């Protein structure tokens, strides 16, 4: 699924991936301006909040949490407008996180054990497997996901529409996360198992 995104950013040097200007270009190219006012654009009556430039600095995991919690509402808007879900490559997600205010410097230390507990408490194992138990209709969460925050965020983002649709069909709630929880979930997903992906 990650390879389905457009390749216009493929030639952008890695150093520019964390540039907010590149992230603003990603937001425009992926159609975020359909529902969100981009910097310098007309606000009008768009359903989503306006993007600020510069955005207030926040930890990357908290920005990913905001994106995650936004997915169900965005899925409804995208579906109602018959739009395609904006698939993100990891480099695009990295740039988008910079545009949305990812603070420089190290993230807070994650607690993977708490992340594992959150995954279990939020009902993720209804569909996802974990160490031989749980569901079989979605990916196994016990497989280590490498590549850092942007890779994990892009994977969550790109697979979210199918997940939201399955939850809606099953009458199940979306597993929203509270402040601080996404860092721990990402810490768990990034080091959950011995395998690689």
Q: What is the largest CA-CA distance in the chain?
A: 51
Percent of the chain with pLDDT over 90: 55
Report whether 86 contacts 160 (CB < 8 A): no
Q: What is the pTM of this model?
A: 0.84
In this predicted structure, the answer to whether residue 179 has a pLDDT above a threshold of 80 is yes
| pLDDT (0 to 100) of residue 196 | 33
Q: Which residues contact 46 (CB under 8 A, 6 or more apart)?
A: 34, 35, 36, 37
Q: Could you read off the pLDDT of 69-118 as tens digits, one per residue?
A: 999 999 998 999 899 999 999 999 999 999 999 988 767 789 999 999 99
The CA radius of gyration of the chain, in Å to the nearest whole number, is: 17
From CA 69, how far away is CA 96, in angstroms rounded? Answer: 16
Residue 157 scores a pLDDT above 90: yes
């Amino acid at each position: 699924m990650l390879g389905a995104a457009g390749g216009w950013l493929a030639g952008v040097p890695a150093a520019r991936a964390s540039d907010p200007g590149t992230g603003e270009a990603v937001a425009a190219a992926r159609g975020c301006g359909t529902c969100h006012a981009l910097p310098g654009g007309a606000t009008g009556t768009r359903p989503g909040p306006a993007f600020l430039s510069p955005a207030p600095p926040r930890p990357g995991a908290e920005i990913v949490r905001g994106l995650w919690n936004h997915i169900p509402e965005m899925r409804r808007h995208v579906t109602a407008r018959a739009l395609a879900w904006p698939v993100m490559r990891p480099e695009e997600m990295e740039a988008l996180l910079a545009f949305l205010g990812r603070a420089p410097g190290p993230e807070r230390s994650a607690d993977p054990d708490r992340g594992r507990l959150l995954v279990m408490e939020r009902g993720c194992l209804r569909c996802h497997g974990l160490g031989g138990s749980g569901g079989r209709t979605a990916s196994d969460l016990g497989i280590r996901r490498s590549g850092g925050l942007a890779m994990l965020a892009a994977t969550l983002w790109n697979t979210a529409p199918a997940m939201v649709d399955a939850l809606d069909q099953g009458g199940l709630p979306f597993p929203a996360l509270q402040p601080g929880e996404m860092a721990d979930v990402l810490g768990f997903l990034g080091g959950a198992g011995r395998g690689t992906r």
